[in-house]
Amino acid sequence: MAISLARRATTHRMRLAMVTTAVVLCTSCGGASAGPVATAPANHGQSRSGAGAPDQSSNGAPAQIGARPSARPSDRPSARSTDRLGIALPVPAALTPLSALASSTDGQWHPAGRLVGGVPAVYETTLVPPGGSQPAGVAWLDTHLLSARLYSGSSSPGGGPYRYSAPIQPAEAASLVAAFNGGFLMDTAGGGYFTDGRVVAPLVTGAASLVIRADGTVSVGAWGTDVSMTTDVVSVRQNLLPLVAGSRPTPLAAGSDWQAWGNTCGATSCAHSVPGVEQQWRSGVGVTAEGALVYVTGPALTPLQLADVLVAARAERGMQLDINPSWTVLATYAPITPDGLAAPANGDRLVAASMQGPATFFEPVWARDFITLSARTMPEG
């Protein structure tokens, strides 16, 4: 198995694994994710009133961090609720295996990454997709305990410098729990990009969009219907059309035109002369009814299989992110001490075979956009 799984634990296992990850220059990969990695400008500013800013409960009282409730489905907060930020969502229920090739641990969650308020904010598992032969990694991220931020690069979206770019700085590493890849280069993304108070690329109605608000909450959906521009939106990353809508794969995801989801590498090479294959490294992200974020990546996924795994992980809406071996990764970080700095040495990949890893987001040469999830800090009063 690509991921070592254990049945759900009540205590978090700290994992220290020295990871050395080379930043790969995939200048020969075809299509949507092709292109050289250029040096990203490291232009970091003071904390802004954006993702990662302190949050407060709606009644003005300090919110308690952690204390995961044991809630019935009817008790769970809605995806748009912000008055319970800092109070953990219920632990996700085990997922139903999708394939006869599933192992005994498929769908069984285990905690990953730094604890937030004494409880896990990230759970991971694997699922073999229907018709697939290799497991995909699945991560569930508690957006009530985690605050999202979009990092921008000189290749995607380009046009910097930006307030937040790789490498992640110590001030942000002090609360970092997880990070994952963004989307295509903008000339093939079929959508736009908004951050730092400006439109980097025009936003497209109907495009699949990851939206981050000033309180660090994050949502996924079609632009103009599920999500839209409001005064509290601080970042929007669009990529292609929705992959999941209404808790099921979209017609485009289920259709035969898999090349509508980007140009892939070949089975053994990313050379332009090598035909792409449908089953390739893909990644995607979605949002559940409770507001949790789910991320999926795997080495041999069709667009429909990626959608199927997102749906199995209870995503109501979802989108494809980047594809091909050089670009998909989710990493979690578990420093020895609660306030320790996240670093490559205390990070771990969601999928062990991923070409990128925990070091990727700390590399000054990493020039692609990515999303971080950090422990929320709540005011004393």
Task: List pLDDT tens digits, range 259-302.
Answer: 999 999 999 899 989 999 999 999 999 999 999 999 999 999 99
On the question of pLDDT at 191 being above 70, the answer is: yes
The answer to whether residue 112 is domain-embedded is yes
On the question of pLDDT at 74 being above 60, the answer is: no
In whole angstroms, what is the distance from residue 240 CA to residue 183 CA? Answer: 9
Total domains, the chain: 1
Quickly state the pLDDT bin for 117 (edges 50, 70, 90): very high
Quickly state the pLDDT bin for 312 (edges 50, 70, 90): very high
Closest CA to 376 of 32, 71, 108, 55: 55
pTM of the model: 0.82
On the question of pLDDT at 31 being above 70, the answer is: no
Query: Dihedral, CA atoms, 266, 138, 211, 50, nearest 10 degrees?
Result: -120
On the question of pLDDT at 115 being above 80, the answer is: yes
In whole angstroms, what is the distance from residue 44 CA to residue 215 CA? Answer: 19
Query: Quick one: pLDDT at residue 377?
Result: 81
The answer to whether residue 182 is domain-embedded is yes
Range of the domain at 295: 31-45+105-375
The answer to whether residue 220 is domain-embedded is yes
Query: Quick one: pLDDT at residue 11?
Result: 37
Joined tokens for residue 303: 């667009």
On the question of pLDDT at 163 being above 80, the answer is: yes
The answer to whether residue 57 is domain-embedded is no
Mean pLDDT across the chain: 83
> Can you say whether residue 244 is alpha, beta or left, with left for phi > 0 and alpha for psi between -120 and 50 degrees?
beta
- E runs forming strands in 214-315: 218-222, 233-238, 244-245, 248-249, 280-287, 293-301
Quickly state the pLDDT bin for 84 (edges 50, 70, 90): confident
The answer to whether residue 202 is domain-embedded is yes
The answer to whether residue 67 is domain-embedded is no
The answer to whether residue 36 is domain-embedded is yes
Determine what percent of the chain is predicted with pLDDT higher than 70.
77
On the question of pLDDT at 183 being above 60, the answer is: yes
In whole angstroms, what is the distance from residue 355 CA to residue 349 CA? Answer: 10
Neighbours of 251 (CB within 10 A): 9
Quickly state the pLDDT bin for 65 (edges 50, 70, 90): low
